[in-house]
Each structure stands twice: as C-alpha cells, then as structure tokens.
Amino acid sequence: MNEQERASERLLPEVATGERKLEHVRLCLEENVAGEGVTSGMERYAFRHNPLPELNFNDVSLETFFMGQNVRTPLLISSMTGGSKTTGAINERLARVANARGWALGVGSIRAAVENPELANTFDVRRWAPDIPVIANLGAVQLNYGFNTADFQRAVEIAGADMLVLHLNSLQEIFQPEGNTDFSGLLQRIENLCHQLDVPVGVKEVGFGMDGVTAQRLYEAGAAFVDVAGAGGTSWVQVEKFRNNNPVRRAAAEAFADWGIPTAESIQEVKALNPDGVLIGSGGLYNGVDAAKALALGADLAGFGRSLLESAVASDEALDQRLEQVEFELRTVMFGIGAGRIEELQGTPRLVERR
C-alpha cells in the first residue's frame, strides 16, 4: 500500500473481534457511551462579544508553551488507543496529522506493549511525530500490580515520549471484566515514581473529573501536570457495561451514567487551589469554542478524545479537516473577544456565566 492509499484507508475492520482495545474503539463509535444527566458544564459559559477587536484575524496566534516546549497550538489529542494492528494504524494516523498541525499527542495505555513487546510498534508514534510533545500513558493502578519504575520507563521509550501520564480510572476498573481494583496506597507510589523517572510525570482522570484537593495532593507529590478529564463526554462505565456479561454489573452501570465532576467545574476548582500548576482541560470538548472556554477557565492545553475518533478512523484528510476546524473556531473566538494571543485568552474577563 502506498502513502496515498494508506492516508485514505478506513481503519476499522468490518469483522468482529475479541481484542479489548479494538472493542473499546468500536463501542465508542457505535454505542451510546456518553454520560447521561451530566454535561461538561461548558454550556454554562459564554464569551462577551467585542465588536471592536482591534486585531487582524490573520495575526491571531495559537502558539503557546507547554512543559517548557514551544507548541503551535494549545490543543491535545488525548489518550485513546493502541495495542493491536488496527489501533496501531489509528495511532499512526493521529501522529502524522497531529505533527502536521502542531497538536500535542497522547497515546492510549501502553500496558499491553510493556507486557507483550510484540505490540510495541502500535505505540511507536514518535517516528510519525518528530516535532510535537508526545505523552506516554499507563494506569497508576499498575503500581499495585507488579509494575516497577523500569516498566514505566519502558512505556516512555516505546512511545518515544517526552513525558508520562498516569491515568486514574477507578470506576472503569470496577465495571471492566478484567479490572484491577486495588487503589490502596497509590499516592505514595505515584510520588516515588515522579522522583525516580527521568521524564516529567503527570496524572489524569479518564472522564470522571478531578477535584482541587486531589490535584493539590498530586502536585505536592511531584506531578508535573494534571489532566482533569472531566465528566460530560465518554463514560467508561458505560463503555465497560457493553463488555460485561455480569447482569448485576451491567444493570448497576446505569446508576452511574451521571457520575463525575463536570469538566468546567474541575478546571476552575483545580486552578483555584493550584494557580501555578500545569493543567490540561479535557472531557466532553467538541469544538474550538469549548477549547477556548477550557483555556479561559485556566487550562494550559485543551484535550479532545472521542469527538475526533470517527475522523481518525475515516482518513488522514477527514482528521486534518476536523483539527483545522477546531483551530479555526478557537481563533475565531479569540478574534471575537479581541485576544490576539493564547495568554490573553487565558483568564479573560470576557468569559461569563450565562444568566
């Protein structure tokens, strides 16, 4: 297959599979896995229009800094997938297009590749993304299940990453058929890892949000950044509901459809208690206006996950257009309030609560 054919190939096979990572992709595309009765909270906010922005739209800049790196946009493709031939191809596409557009890139949990080296190439995104921040990803709970510092270092090396994020997914693990549910004593182990690893270590939720006090404890333990990954987008309880054959667990999942801290609330609360902490805002963001709100509330980067997945599966062109649209919407917000740079958007008084 040549480069053009690969770029236009739809990546999701038509045949069913038992692979967990591919099942997750299918469910996110084909089933209603969004939280119900809970939103990101972004709809509670609006920007006050500035009719005289005193700007040339062409001069509005998305450039900013993240973890000491100059980046072309304050936008992140959040951790999604990897661990199989198909999901590896999705990672390759995400990496190519992210690099071309200047988005930071997170990969899905690299646990499978640490345990099975044959899967390492499905997470090797650095070869496709030489110019952007890359974030490796492993579950923090693996610190209680035999993973040591060398395993986490290996995850970083597999992705060619600049940094590592540990994900906190306690409720997902409860409803996941093969879940790891011992979250005891993790804070101390996270602190140890932060001081032992030779790259910055961050911590993220997976769609249920993070409160300010927990974020404060993580920063104090050495976390270089926090990703709130708030409620309002994908609910991983609902994803795992479709995979769980236990009738009690499947029924119980419905009671948690509205579980979590909305993204907007999480960002505000974490920023209020930790004004100097590096912060990623993600969870239920769908467009550049949502991204602008996340940044104005206090985030340093705005992360997108499932809302990009259909485009990522479709083709390079579809994904590129989707990212371009988000960028255009973000720049238009900035022009509309008279903010020429990201620093002027962050903390702007023109973001107000709706009456």
pTM: 0.92
Q: Tell me the C-alpha distance between 243 and 174, whole Å.
A: 12
Name the nearest CA neighbour of 316 among 68, 101, 34: 101
pLDDT (tens digit, 9 = 90+) per residue, 210-269? 999 999 999 999 999 999 999 999 898 988 888 888 999 999 999 999 999 999 999 999
φ, ψ for residue 261, nearest 5 deg? -95, 125
Q: CA-based angle 110:189:135, to the nearest 5? A: 30
Tokens read off for 136: 């490796």
For the chain, give me the number of helices (H) and strands (E)? 15, 12
Name the nearest CA neighbour of 159 among 84, 87, 108, 102: 108
pLDDT at residue 80 greater than cutoff 80: no
Q: Tell me the C-alpha distance between 284 and 187, whole Å.
A: 27
Q: Tell me the C-alpha distance between 87 and 157, whole Å.
A: 19
pLDDT at residue 6 greater than cutoff 90: no
What is the mean predicted confidence (pLDDT) over 100-127?
94
